Amino acid sequence: MATTERPLGVTLAAVAAILGAAIFILLGLVMLVNVFVSPPGPAMPPLLLKVANGVMCVVLLGIAAWGITTAVGLFRLRSWSRWSILAFSALLAFFGGFTTLMMTMIPLPPAPDASPEITKWIRIAVVVIYGVPALMGVFWLYYFNTTRVRTRFGTAVGANGPGGRPLSVSVIAWRMLIGGVLCIGGALSPFPGMMFGLIFTGWSARSLYLGFAAIEIWLGVGLLRLNPLSRVIAIAMFGTGILNSVLFALLPGQSERLRSLLGSMPFPTPKPAGYDPFASVTTSIVIGSLASVIPIWFLIARRQAFLKPPPLPQP
């Protein structure tokens, strides 16, 4: 049974979740207003702008609702809220950490009529914006797993999450569910798709996005239910992502494929003088592949959680 004494760190985490939710609500409302009143920019068609803003509005408001619900649970020391903040912290550390890594390694295109010093400060600002939340996520992962905090939520030291599901499996499942929703947004947009070095446009790209959306959402639900088949297919899915990136980078004609991909965009892609996009794409592929290796490792290491216990002997 959880005690009524709430640690200061739990209170601060709940306040931070509410403040973060307020920011996401504000950004979501801005996106919603842009759907109805903002005129299209010169480089983006009106339909694409409305779809992009609409999808981002739903995602931002959904994250805000998650944050507020978790904060209320933390204030009340509900056991489920601890698992919720842990899952959120893992996603925060994962996406923030990899974005920070990409920003430190990928060369930025030079800003027109701007000195290299300004570009350097832009990079530093972006690294701070993503790096600080990533560090906060890492700290929360440690803090909410300490014995003192566990006991406040009435959680045993070695316990898994709801239904005996490890935290890592829950994070991977939610990552796939979010990816599936984003793929639905991709299916509603005119962006091209890419698979095994091939560029898809039009209805073939829409079908590709919808197919990935269905698979990722199905796998996310299956992982939350600890379905053994979902674990195996999820490993194959992440492996396919690595293979897809490697083939795009290593098959002959990489430059032509990249030019074809950029040329298939629904709006003009600026190409500043002196900027080489090939180095950026190669670095992104390497980091993206690493981001798929980590879930594979956790799904293999946590395979015992997917084994159904043997039936109890009959009396």
Q: Write the DSSP assignment of 71-83 as a string of letters.
A: HHHHHTT-HHHHH
Segments making up each domain of the chain, as ranges: 160-266+278-306
Cβ atoms 163, 79 nearer than 8 A: no
What pLDDT was estimated at residue 42? 47
CB atoms inside a 10 Å sphere around CB 96: 20
Angle between helices 79-105 and 167-187 (to 10 degrees): 60
Q: pTM for this one?
A: 0.67
Q: What is the pLDDT of residues 205-221, one digit of tens each?
A: 888 888 999 999 999 99
Q: How many CA atoms lie within 13 A of 195 on its CB side?
A: 13
What pLDDT was estimated at residue 71? 92
Based on its alpha-carbon atoms, the radius of gyration of the chain, rounded to whole angstroms, reads 22
Question: In the chain, which stretches have pLDDT less than 70?
Answer: 1-4, 34-52, 105-119, 155-164, 197, 249, 253-255, 257-288, 308-315
286 contacts: CB under 8 Å, gap ≥ 6: none
What pLDDT was estimated at residue 278? 58
Distance from C-alpha of 71 to C-alpha of 140, rounded to nearest angstrom: 14
Bridge partners, 193 (sequence order): 200
